[in-house]
A and B are shown apart, each in its own frame.
Chain A
Amino acid sequence: MQKEPILRVEGLRTTFTGDEGTVVAVDDVSFDVNEGEIVGLIGESGSGKSVTALAIMGLLPKSTSQVTAERIMFDGRNLARASDREMRRLRGGSIGMIFQEPMSSLNPVLKIGDQLIEPIRIHERISYRAAFDRGVELLTKVGIPSPVQRMNDYPHQLSGGMRQRVMIAIALSCSPKLLLADEPTTALDVTIQAQLLDLLLEIQAETKMAIVLITHSMGVIAECADKVVVMYSGRIAEQGPVTDIFDRPGHPYTKGLMQCTPELTGNPRRLTTIPGALPSLSALPPGCRFAPRCGLAQPACEAGRPPMIGVGQNHASACIRADELVASAAQPEGAEV
């Protein structure tokens, strides 16, 4: 892919100021999203994955947070310098969003139809009638039965899965070039999650929009993503094409994440674990942030921030022993993290 990426984030940094001082929630995060690509952003709670998405969208409260970036290029524009007005035009227009909570992200006192029509009429100058028809069409597309009736329903009349379908319909309403989906299926049951992931993939195949899929589940990544960005404690631990990440993880954290998810084959007596817990953002270790939990840590790991090392095509890891790890992955399993 020689074309310019649809989204290029460079050196994104987000800090929050509160009673206990200033914490850096996202620290120097850079990644590209190409046209028609699904990028999985994976990490545990507190890793900064949601904040990254909110910072890109300019949705963090200005009173308590500061977002800086070298560049956030979206479709030829630098979002890091965009005015509020420009951002408003993009949000819900060329950039769609889906949030985790289908309960709280829809307005409970507005009909589904009104919530669908609103963004369409804000971004495009079309009549109510035309926008209504578009809304019905979108509901049909996301698999909601009897869409004309549903337009008049309130959110509480729909199930969680149906609400998330409505959220997807709203996000798609202005044919976005980029969709930011923050844990879109986390609150849902497995069979509904599977339905929705299939739906997203189907729509993506048809519209060729790019998706940033934020999740904590390796399974969702394995199911959907083309490229993976692994975040740990506000920084990128590793990024690369999905099969490379699964076959040859270049960061001990990625490897640990995969090992501590129980599998559906084999019968290990014990799960491999990552000892300890995520460090608090107000007491971060000096060098590699994963070093205190890492089985491969050396004194050099605590000396300074590990640079991103290329370990394959478009595959880079922020671990000074990345080459070793990738090489050991080529051999049969056995090395413990």
Chain B
Amino acid sequence: MSKTPLLSVRDLSKHFTIRSPFRGTTVGTVQAVNRVSFDIGEGETLGLVGESGCGKSTTGRLLLRLIEPDRGEVLFQGRDLLKLDARELKAVRKSIQIVFQDPFSSLNPRMTVEDIVTEPLYVQGGMTRRDMRDRARMLLDRVGLNAAHITRYPHEFSGGQRQRIGIARALAADPRFIVCDEAVSALDVSVQAQVINLLQDLQEEFNLSYLFIAHDLSVVRHISDRVAVMYLGEVVEIAGKDALYASPRHPYTQALLAAIPVAHPRLRGKRARLGGEVSSALNPPPGCRFSQRCPFARDVCRKEPPALRGLGERHQVACHFAEELQAVAA
């Protein structure tokens, strides 16, 4: 992966201003996404994990400009998406698609499966109705649905099947890159495994790149090549999945991994638990955002925000004391 990455995100930020509902005065700023940077290579999966409210879904939407970013760069195949006008953006969008979490609300209940799956083609134009229908049948078949069900409506399908419809829609315009926003989180485990396998097969077949947003750390480990951990709008650590899960450097990553339930009752035991709650991204603390919950926080952590810096090969971490913590752990 020495070539230029397919997608390159630099200093991406989105701050929402909160106004008082009556007076209209600014009450505060939610720094939903703050100076986020990462790369995704061709055919690569980057997992994005974090707890609710950490900005992972917002990040996914910023990449597609479903929400307009405030600052930063999103270089896709060398072009900055944030500088494109509406027409250019439309042309690029066919290469970038998204699969949403909720298979119930992300499909229009009044549209047939055919309409849903062909909508991206219709928007892009240049295809006859018959070609679009053929493509929809092919796609349904590819994602493991019966192509004869093309005239049915979403309510006639189960949750897992609906998620497959959502995946077929994302594939319709022949994308290079798909944002999977909690795409398997709402599914039962037995169905979840099927959809994960499907996503991996499709990736191999079409050489897709994924940004796989999820809160389930074992699912992310399974599907990703590299993993980025977010806390309160900022990326605190990025590394190859083996490095991240085997030797996490950021105290938050360590806490997150320690919170995963054990795989077997024999492995039970008291482990270090993270106290406190996820702080609010509304007016975050001046220093490291994790400092309030961090068991290792010192004065400097409360004053200076740590920058994301390289630590070993392709392992980046945003902690002032990453080396020290590593030494303690060893």
Which residues in A have some Cβ–Cβ distance to B below 8 Å? 44-45, 159, 161-162, 189-195, 197-198, 216-223, 225, 242-243, 246, 256-257, 260-265, 268-275, 277-278
- Chain B hits for A198, CB < 8 A: 273
**A189 near B260 (CB under 8 angstroms)?**
no
Q: Any chain A CB within 8 A of the CB of B108?
A: no
**B190 near A243 (CB under 8 angstroms)?**
no
Please tell me which one of the listed residues A159, A246, A265, A273 contacts residue B193 in the complex, with CB atoms under 8 A apart. A273
User: With contacts A190-B215, A191-B51, A270-B197 known, is A260 near B264, CB below 8 A?
Assistant: no
Minimum Cβ distance to chain B for residue A265 (Å): 8
Please tell me which one of the listed residues B160, B245, B273 contacts residue A264 in the complex, with CB atoms under 8 A apart. B245
- Chain A hits for B265, CB < 8 A: 221-223, 225, 242-243, 246
A225 to B219, CA, bound (A): 23
Q: Any chain A CB within 8 A of the CB of B247?
A: no
A275 to B160, CA, bound (A): 12
Q: How many residues of B are in contact with the other chain, CB < 8 A? A: 41
User: With contacts A189-B215, A189-B278 known, is A264 near B263, CB below 8 A?
Assistant: yes
A218 to B263, CA, bound (A): 8
Q: Any chain A CB within 8 A of the CB of B188?
A: yes
Q: Which residue of A lies closest to B196 (CB)?
A: A271
- Chain A hits for B82, CB < 8 A: none
User: With contacts A159-B277, A223-B268 known, is A277 near B191, CB below 8 A?
Assistant: yes
Minimum Cβ distance to chain B for residue A107 (Å): 22
User: With contacts A191-B256, A223-B268 known, is A263 near B190, CB below 8 A?
Assistant: no
Q: Which residue of B lies closest to A225 (CB)?
A: B265
A222 to B161, CA, bound (A): 29
**A194 near B273 (CB under 8 angstroms)?**
yes
> Can you show 12 pairs from A to B with CB atoms below 8 A apart?
A190-B217, A190-B259, A194-B261, A216-B189, A219-B260, A219-B262, A222-B262, A222-B268, A257-B190, A261-B189, A272-B193, A277-B158
Minimum Cβ distance to chain B for residue A255 (Å): 12
Q: Any chain A CB within 8 A of the CB of B202?
A: no
- Chain B hits for A194, CB < 8 A: 258-259, 261, 273-274
Highest count of chain A CB atoms <10 Å: which of B158, B189, B260, B277? B189
Please tell me which one of the listed residues A225, A270, A275 contacts residue B200 in the complex, with CB atoms under 8 A apart. A270
Please tell me which one of the listed residues B191, B219, B259, B277 contacts residue A262 in the complex, with CB atoms under 8 A apart. B219
**A262 near B218 (CB under 8 angstroms)?**
yes
Minimum Cβ distance to chain B for residue A147 (Å): 16
Given contacts A190-B217, A194-B258, A242-B265, 6 further A-B contacts (CB under 8 A): A44-B188, A191-B255, A198-B273, A219-B260, A260-B189, A260-B193
Q: Any chain A CB within 8 A of the CB of B221?
A: yes
Minimum Cβ distance to chain A for residue B51 (Å): 4
**B263 near A191 (CB under 8 angstroms)?**
no
A27 to B100, CA, bound (A): 35
- Chain A hits for B263, CB < 8 A: 219, 222, 263-265
Minimum Cβ distance to chain A for residue B243 (Å): 13
**A189 near B51 (CB under 8 angstroms)?**
yes
Q: Any chain A CB within 8 A of the CB of B330?
A: no
**B266 near A262 (CB under 8 angstroms)?**
no
**A161 near B218 (CB under 8 angstroms)?**
no
- Chain A hits for B196, CB < 8 A: 262, 271
User: With contacts A44-B189, A159-B277 known, is A190 near B256, CB below 8 A?
Assistant: yes
A277 to B215, CA, bound (A): 24
Highest count of chain A CB atoms <10 Å: which of B193, B197, B261? B261
**A243 near B266 (CB under 8 angstroms)?**
yes
**A222 near B197 (CB under 8 angstroms)?**
no
Minimum Cβ distance to chain A for residue B101 (Å): 14
Minimum Cβ distance to chain B for residue A290 (Å): 11
Within 8 A of A (CB), among B146-165: 158-161
A268 to B197, CA, bound (A): 11
Please tell me which one of the listed residues A162, A219, A271 contacts residue B277 in the complex, with CB atoms under 8 A apart. A162
A191 to B218, CA, bound (A): 14
**B266 near A261 (CB under 8 angstroms)?**
no
Please tell me which one of the listed residues A162, A191, A275 contacts residue B274 in the complex, with CB atoms under 8 A apart. A191
**A195 near B273 (CB under 8 angstroms)?**
yes
**B267 near A273 (CB under 8 angstroms)?**
no
Q: Any chain A CB within 8 A of the CB of B192?
A: yes
- Chain A hits for B277, CB < 8 A: 159, 161-162, 192
Q: Any chain A CB within 8 A of the CB of B194?
A: yes
Minimum Cβ distance to chain B for residue A8 (Å): 24
Minimum Cβ distance to chain B for residue A202 (Å): 10
A191 to B275, CA, bound (A): 8
Q: Which residue of B lies closest to A275 (CB)?
A: B194
- Chain A hits for B256, CB < 8 A: 190-191
A243 to B267, CA, bound (A): 11
Please tell me which one of the listed residues A218, A271, A273 contacts residue B222 in the complex, with CB atoms under 8 A apart. A271
Q: Any chain A CB within 8 A of the CB of B52?
A: yes
Minimum Cβ distance to chain B for residue A272 (Å): 7
Q: Which residue of B lies closest to A265 (CB)?
A: B263
Within 8 A of A (CB), among B89-144: none
- Chain B hits for A272, CB < 8 A: 193
Highest count of chain B CB atoms <10 Å: which of A44, A45, A246, A262? A262
Within 8 A of A (CB), among B172-229: 188-194, 196-197, 200, 215, 217-219, 221-222
Q: Which residue of B lies closest to A219 (CB)?
A: B261
- Chain B hits for A190, CB < 8 A: 51, 215, 217, 256, 259-260
Q: Which residue of B lies closest to A193 (CB)?
A: B259
A268 to B266, CA, bound (A): 23
Q: Which residue of A lies closest to B190 (CB)?
A: A274
A256 to B161, CA, bound (A): 20
Q: Which residue of B lies closest to A220 (CB)?
A: B261
A37 to B255, CA, bound (A): 29
Query: Digit string of B248-262 for contact with A (CB within 8 Å is 1, else 0)?
Result: 000000011011111
Minimum Cβ distance to chain B for residue A177 (Å): 24
Minimum Cβ distance to chain A for residue B266 (Å): 7
**A273 near B197 (CB under 8 angstroms)?**
yes
Q: Which residue of B lies closest to A256 (CB)?
A: B190
